[in-house]
């Protein structure tokens, strides 16, 4: 129940709750992956159940698909949808230009494909995800398993000429084995500390053989909804240049939220 949430979970919840106001009946909606996006999926499920909202959701991971079905959202593939009205997703970091680092949950490839196939991308985040310059959060890149050590070496060599503070690259693990994405790939995490030119880095990374995609989302996000632990919500629209502040009151919720597993 929302009354039992920590301040950071309250911030995630109010951001998600505010963002679903953008969803209208009949829309095709991209459903993001991660702890904040899970709140959003639950909120949409509540609207489907209680308000009769009719939408079709395109999940960005198998776990989001499972959660969407659990809460009663009709799930379709991106190929079936072809194009989306909007995507709502979280972020690991965002800056003042609404550029993002995503992929902490390992779903960056599907997330980027779905986001770019949408008329609008809305990012939901707690205020702690806002940064002046991207890079404190490790930048994930998805790489194919074949020759991943060679790919890692090529990335490390490439980073020497980039405007970054750190160049440590690690293979993401799942226990004793490499983490495997929904597409059967691995994730390399780039510990850069600060990224001076995110646009340049994104383009150069995707030229490295073996790299499938990187977690820099440049000029993709249109709106960020920022949640605070006291219930305040700030909606920033990069295209309109507007900032709107609201406050959501916490009420005791039914078990739709009680069993949320982040």
pLDDT of residue 5: 87
Assess if residue 71 is contained within a domain. yes
The catalytic residue among 46, 93, 111, 213 is 111
**Count of domains observed in the chain:** 2
The model's pLDDT over 183-205, given as tens digits with 9 standing for 90+, comes to 999 999 999 999 999 999 999 99
Q: What is the CATH number of the domain that holds 157?
A: 3.30.70.260
Q: Are residues 77 and 169 in the same domain?
A: no
Residues 45-72 have a mean pLDDT of 98
Q: What is the average pLDDT score of the chain?
A: 94
Assess if residue 194 is contained within a domain. yes
153 CB neighbour count, 10 Å cutoff: 12
Q: Are residues 86 and 163 in the same domain?
A: no
Q: Which domain holds residue 242?
A: 6-128+219-255
Q: Are residues 204 and 149 in the same domain?
A: yes
Q: Are residues 197 and 235 in the same domain?
A: no
The model's pLDDT over 8-43, given as tens digits with 9 standing for 90+, comes to 999 999 999 999 999 999 999 999 999 999 999 999
Q: Are residues 22 and 99 in the same domain?
A: yes
Residues at the binding site are 33-36, 89-92, 102-105, 129
Cα–Cα nearest to 81, from 101, 97, 63, 60 = 60
CA atoms within 13 A on the CB side of 178: 17
pLDDT at 75 over 50: yes
Assess if residue 192 is contained within a domain. yes
The verdict on whether 46 is a catalytic residue reads no
Assess if residue 262 is contained within a domain. no
Q: Are residues 19 and 86 in the same domain?
A: yes
pLDDT at 261 over 60: no
pLDDT of residue 4: 79
CA 105, distance to chain mean position in Å, is 8
Q: Are residues 122 and 149 in the same domain?
A: no
pLDDT at 111 over 50: yes
Q: Are residues 45 and 169 in the same domain?
A: no
């Amino acid at each position: 129940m929302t009354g039992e949430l920590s301040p950071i979970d309250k911030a995630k919840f109010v951001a998600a709750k505010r963002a679903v106001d953008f969803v209208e009946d009949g829309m095709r909606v991209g459903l993001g992956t991660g702890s904040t996006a899970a709140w959003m999926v639950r909120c949409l499920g509540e609207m489907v159940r209680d308000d009769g909202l009719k939408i079709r959701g395109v999940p960005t991971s198998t776990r989001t698909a499972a959660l969407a079905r659990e809460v009663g959202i009709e799930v379709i593939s991106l190929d079936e949808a072809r194009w989306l009205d909007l995507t709502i997703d979280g972020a690991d970091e965002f800056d003042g230009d609404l550029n993002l680092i995503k992929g902490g949950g390992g779903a960056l490839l599907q997330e980027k494909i779905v986001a770019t196939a949408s008329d609008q991308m809305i990012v939901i985040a707690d205020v702690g995800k806002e940064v002046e310059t991207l890079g404190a959060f490790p930048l994930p890149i998805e790489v194919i398993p074949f020759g991943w050590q060679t790919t890692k070496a090529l990335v490390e060599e490439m980073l020497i000429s980039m405007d970054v503070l750190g160049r440590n690259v690690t293979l993401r693990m799942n226990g004793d084995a490499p983490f495997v994405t929904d597409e059967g790939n691995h994730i390399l995490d780039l510990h850069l500390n600060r990224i001076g030119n995110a646009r340049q880095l994104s383009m150069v990374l995707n030229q490295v053989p073996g790299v499938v995609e990187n977690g820099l989302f440049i000029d993709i996000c249109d709106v960020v909804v920022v949640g605070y632990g006291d219930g305040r919500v700030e909606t920033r629209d990069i295209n309109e240049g507007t900032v709107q502040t609201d406050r959501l009151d916490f009420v005791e919720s039914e078990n739709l939220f009680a069993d949320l597993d982040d």
